[in-house]
Amino acid sequence: GAVVSQHPSWVICKSGTSVKIECRSLDFQATTMFWYRQFPKQSLMLMATSNEGSKATYEQGVEKDKFLINHASLTLSTLTVTSAHPEDSSFYICSGLDRANLNEQFFGPGTRLTVL
Amino acid sequence: GNSVTQMEGPVTLSEEAFLTINCTYTATGYPSLFWYVQYPGEGLQLLLKATKADDKGSNKGFEATYRKETTSFHLEKGSVQVSDSAVYFCALSGTGANSKLTFGKGITLSVRP
């Protein structure tokens, strides 16, 4: 199957700082990417849908000014957590939608964010 | 809205035991149903899927049948291996152009030698 990478795999930052997470589709073009958040022992919650060249669509309850998403190319989407606080600590997972592969979503390995 | 309910975990089995992981769903229309697996340190991978009622998805010895009458998509395997130890997620997606996935909580399976 297709491969999606995320960088970094884990990050620790201080409260008030911003953190950028990259999501790359390595061997396919992802016009649509999704960002999820996963709390321990809980489900993946969709945060936003990112379409290349346009603004992201955020799910209800997700602050778009806090979680900035940019999808500037067909292989890269970034999620920036601005002014991070401890409650933002979580596991963030992205996926790319491969339209050439029956719209299957391919997932990255996730990024563990810890805010001190 | 759409929702997916998985049985509570974790599940610990001996090698070659029979596995059943229950999954039920609530959705409007006719969703597609999926099982994803997440091995330690890796991203979610599609294990199998079914797109309409009575379809059976199968892969790597795992099977699940789309049961519309009971709104279920239970995962089964006749003989588990240590290498099957992972987290398993049941999920559904809407119809048409809506490709959003709704996930269950996931369940951790540990298989002992």
Nearest to A104 among B4, B46, B105 (CB): B46
Nearest-CA neighbor of A23 among A36, A12, A39? A36
Contact A107 B104 (CB under 8 A): no
The band of B96, judged by pLDDT with boundaries at 50, 70 and 90, is low
A104 compared with A24, residue with greater pLDDT: A24
Nearest-CA neighbor of B62 among B92, B18, B15, B106? B18
- At B28-49, the pLDDT tens digits run 888 999 999 999 878 889 999 9
Tell me the count of A-B CB pairs closer than 8 A.
43
Q: How far apart are CA A90 and CA A39, in angstroms?
A: 6
Mean pLDDT, range A12-29, rounded to an integer:
95
For position B40, what pLDDT does the model report? 84
With tokens 């016009």, the residue in question is A31
- At A38-97, the pLDDT tens digits run 987 778 999 999 988 888 999 999 999 999 999 988 999 999 999 999 999 999 999 998
Mean pLDDT, range B88-92, rounded to an integer:
96
Nearest to B44 among A32, A49, A107 (CB): A107
Return all residues near B94 (Cβ < 8 A) that are at least 6 apart. Answer: B2, B27, B29, B31, B100
Return all residues near A112 (Cβ < 8 A) that are at least 6 apart. Answer: A9, A10, A11, A91
The answer on pLDDT for A102 being more than 80 is no
For position B13, what pLDDT does the model report? 97
Q: How far apart are CA A70 and CA A54, in angstroms?
A: 8
Q: What percentage of chain B exceeds 90 in pLDDT?
A: 79
- Cβ atoms of residues B19 and B65 within 8 Å: no
Our CA dihedral for B107, B108, B112, B113, rounded to 10 degrees, sits at 100
Residue count of chain B, please give it. 113
Q: How far apart are CA A27 and CA A21, in angstroms?
A: 19
What number of other Cβ atoms are within 10 A of residue B44's Cβ?
30
Q: How far apart are CA A31 and CA B83, in angstroms?
A: 34
Query: How close B45 gets to chain A, by Cα (Å)?
Result: 7
Query: How is residue B67 annotated by DSSP?
Result: B
Return all residues near B105 (Cβ < 8 A) that are at least 6 apart. Answer: A41, A42, A43, B6
Nearest to B101 among A4, A105, A108 (CB): A105
For position B95, what pLDDT does the model report? 65
Contact B99 A103 (CB under 8 A): yes
For position A31, what pLDDT does the model report? 85
Nearest-CA neighbor of B30 among B106, B103, B105, B98? B98
